[in-house]
């Protein structure tokens, strides 16, 4: 499939797809005319990349994850370690966000109390 259709299927812009190809996140075959020829497997992989980006994984970590794509299996897999490391970062961020929410809740309660809003 051509880049326009591929972009529509993956939700990624053509510009982003070209960039991902330039930084080796996507390796795309070319047809006889030299145009990109995306496959269904490419769609799956691009959607995986997008999910990782949506999960706030840094591009350098996605590149590391991608570089290990065909060389990894079992519990010692570095690819799994990349995912687990990012999960730990997200858990720490969640804890920090929850602490911020608690602080805001306390301030809201004080504000309401001082202004006799409840």
| Residue from 27, 101, 28 nearest 66 by CA | 27
Q: What is residue 71's predicted lDDT score, i.e. its pLDDT? A: 73
50 lies in some domain: yes
Q: What is the pTM of this model?
A: 0.79
Same domain assignment for residues 50 and 81: no
Instruction: Report the number of distinct structural domains present in the chain.
Output: 2
Residue range of the domain that includes 99: 74-118
Confidence of residue 114 (pLDDT cuts 50, 70, 90): very high
Tokens representing residue 8 in the block: 């529509």
Same domain assignment for residues 82 and 44: no
Between CA 33 and CA 106 the distance in angstroms is 64
What are the b/e assignments for 27-39, b being 16+ CB within 10 Å?
ebeeeeeeebbbe
Q: Give the model confidence (pLDDT) of 39-57 as tens digits.
A: 999 999 999 999 999 999 9
Residues near 7 by beta carbon (within 8 Å), at least 6 away in sequence = 13, 14, 17
Q: Give the model confidence (pLDDT) of 3-42 as tens digits.
A: 999 999 999 999 999 999 999 999 999 999 999 999 999 9
102 lies in some domain: yes
In which element (H, E) is residue 36 found? strand 36-37
């Amino acid at each position: 499939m051509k880049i326009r259709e591929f972009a529509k299927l993956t939700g990624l812009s053509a510009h982003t797809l070209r960039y991902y190809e330039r930084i080796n996140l996507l390796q795309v075959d070319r047809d006889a005319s030299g145009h990109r020829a995306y496959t269904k497997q490419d769609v799956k992989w691009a959607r995986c990349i997008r999910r990782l980006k949506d999960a706030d994984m840094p591009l350098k970590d996605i590149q590391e994850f991608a570089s290990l794509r065909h060389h990894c299996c079992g519990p010692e897999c570095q690819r799994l370690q990349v995912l687990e490391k990012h999960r730990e970062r997200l858990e720490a961020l969640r804890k920090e966000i929850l602490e911020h929410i608690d602080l805001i809740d306390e301030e809201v309660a004080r504000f309401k109390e001082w202004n006799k809003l409840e």
